[in-house]
Amino acid sequence: MSVTDDKPAIKRPSGFWSYANPVKFLGFSERILPALWVLSAACLALGLVWGFFFTPDDFRQGSTVKIIYLHVPSALMAINAWFMMLVASLIWIVRRHHVSALAARAAAPVGVVMTLIALVTGAIWGQPMWGTWWAWDPRLTSFLILFLFYLGYIALWEAIEDPDTAADLTAVLCLVGTVFAVLSRYAVNFWNQGLHQGASLSLDKEENVADVFYFPLLVCIAGFVLLFFALVLYRTGTEIRLRRTRALLARQGRQ
């Protein structure tokens, strides 16, 4: 971070990487955050109201099918939040941008809540449909393991005092954890046969959910994605300000 005297003209990064500058990042996120909040709230309200009140009941599942509007988007975001943490950790390891490490830190609690929502809504749906709150089905089990990985990641961030060491170690844990999470996913598949239905939203398959359910679901997914981005940007901003406050306090204490 230090600028040496013999190089007066430093090359300013442009484009995407310029947002590694916390000031620029904060300015940008503050400009788009209100729009993100409004858009995500609108999408969620539209998708949920449409889904809950203006779609027909499924002929076998009755109205329990409607929990799909919470279950599927949250499950999707639970996995994508970890993926985002992985990318942010890689950027931190390779390019040492503090904003990236803080974004990974900010995403973890959001991801853990998404995982929890997916597990809980799944259990609520499973009780009337499968006759049980919980089954050791591969998908359910791998989500529980993902939840444990999130817990470990957050706990490691909390346990280490030095912020740079914490960022480095959690980044390493995130990389290793990703490999093992994927490995566990396939190991669990091998271990037990599934009760959970297969993918029903894939783009390349014939058998998907009917269009009546599909479109409100897409709106809900968009809402969850926007909500995730809004929350992560907001929390990253908080982390940046927190660190800045600490730096100011430390400087004051030294005088």
Partner 1 sequence: MTALLYRDLMLALRAGGGFGLGLAFFLIVTVLVPFGVGPQSELLARIAPGILWLGALLACLLSLDRLLALDWEDGTLDLLATSPLPLEAALSIKALAHWITTGLPLVVAAPLFGVLLNLPGPGYLWLVVSLALGTPALSVIGTFGAALTVGIKRGGLLMSLLVLPLYVPTLIFGAEVARRGAAGLETTTPLLMLAGITAGVIAVMPFASAAALRINLR
| C-beta closer to partner 1: residue 175 or 199 | 175
Q: CA distances (Å), 92 to each of 87, 137, 159, 171, 177, in order?
A: 9, 35, 19, 8, 16
| C-beta closer to partner 1: residue 13 or 109 | 109
Give the C-alpha separation, 89 to 170, whole Å: 8
Give the C-alpha separation, 195 to 80, whole Å: 23
- Give me the phi and psi of 62, to 5 degrees please: 65, -145
Q: Which of 191, 194, 212, 224 is nearest to 52 (CA)?
A: 212
Contact status, residue 109 vs residue 137, Cβ threshold 8 Å: no
Query: Shortest Cβ distance from residue 159 to partner 1 (Å)?
Result: 5
| C-beta closer to partner 1: residue 5 or 161 | 161
| C-beta closer to partner 1: residue 155 or 248 | 155
Among 83, 136, 191, 215, binds partner 1 (CB under 8 A): 191
Among 32, 49, 94, 155, binds partner 1 (CB under 8 A): 155
Among 5, 190, 193, 197, binds partner 1 (CB under 8 A): 190
Stretch that binds partner 1, among 3-11, 24-32, 117-125, 179-187 (CB under 8 A): 179-187
Contact status, residue 47 vs residue 222, Cβ threshold 8 Å: yes
Q: Tell me which residues touch partner 1 (CB under 8 A).
A: 145, 148-149, 151-152, 155-156, 159-160, 165, 168-169, 172-173, 175-177, 180-181, 183-184, 187-188, 190-191
